[in-house]
Amino acid sequence: MTRTVQELFDLTGRTAIVTGGGTHLGTAFTEALGDLGAKVYIASRRTELCERVASELTRRGYDVTGLGCDVTDETQVDALVERVMNDTGRLDIAICNAGGSFTTSYPPDADVDEFRRTLEVNLTGTYITAQSAGRAMIPARCGSIITLGSIAATLSIDPRIYNANFNRSGPPYQAAKGGVLNLTRAFAGEFGKYGITANCISPGQIPKDTTNPEQVETFRKMNALHRTGLSQDLKGTVALLASDAGSWITGQEFRVDGGWSIW
């Protein structure tokens, strides 16, 4: 049966998890899913933040629940997925958004512990979350796993474009996000036979409100569209990959970077 575009994007009755859901990117993902009708559970180690953001979004008409979860702890992730399944009986979408850069030192004097922590939160956390979500999706023979890469997954970071006081990401972050990208391809291969898709969104520079204005201006000039990236710029890609509109897309990287990576 032929379906309209509106029907393909409709997420009414579906359930999603967004890890790192209290952040500016996580909030944008949650809004995008909620706009299409999904019930969303946001979770991170910062339980109070997730609860507060969930409360704010609920007041705006979204169906959002905020929970605590450390994505590097398999027991906690499994408990999160179990909570969702007990509440709703289904898990349709998992956005593995939890991560970040913890770099304060750079080669040749980089801190190895920072490297380990960056890999643990970004790569291991994604591995644990995607695997747990996948197990819950298998019985339904469908589902969408979306991971968060970065332009740093395939491009080196040029230290010359960053202000001296800007805490830029370094080799640990590049290694972790490169791993996330190829891990996503691996999950696409493993889960495809169950009808589950796995894709990676790699954002460009999307500054926070607290970022130094001079640094934001540098970022703006570095992309082809010559404007500052916004968290809402990721909503369309998430909507595509989370819905039936993207049901025949798997194992792919979607760079949403204003053309940063074309140069």
**Cα–Cα distance between 137 and 81 in angstroms, integer?**
10
What b/e sequence results for 83-119 when a residue is b if at least 16 CB atoms lie within 10 Å of its CB, and e otherwise? bbeeeeebbbbbbbbbbebbbeeeeeeeeeebbebbb
pLDDT band at 205 (very low <50, low <70, confident <90, very high): very high
What 3-state DSSP class applies to 80? helix
Contact between 207 and 229 (Cβ < 8 Å):
yes
What 3-state DSSP class applies to 197? strand
The answer, yes or no, to whether residue 167 has pLDDT greater than 90, is no
- Across 87-101, 165-179, 186-200, least confident range: 165-179
**In this predicted model, what pLDDT tens digit does every residue of 104-115 receive, in sequence order?**
888 999 999 999
The answer, yes or no, to whether residue 103 has pLDDT greater than 90, is no
The answer, yes or no, to whether residue 14 has pLDDT greater than 90, is yes
| CATH architecture of structural domain 5-262 | 3-Layer(aba) Sandwich (3.40)
**Domains in the chain: boundaries:** 5-262
CA distances in angstroms from 117 to 82, 209, 223, 247, listed in the order given: 26, 25, 30, 34
The answer, yes or no, to whether residue 158 has pLDDT greater than 90, is no
Q: 40 pairs with which residues across the strands? A: 16, 64
Cα-Cα-Cα-Cα torsion 73, 74, 75, 81, nearest 10 degrees, comes to 110
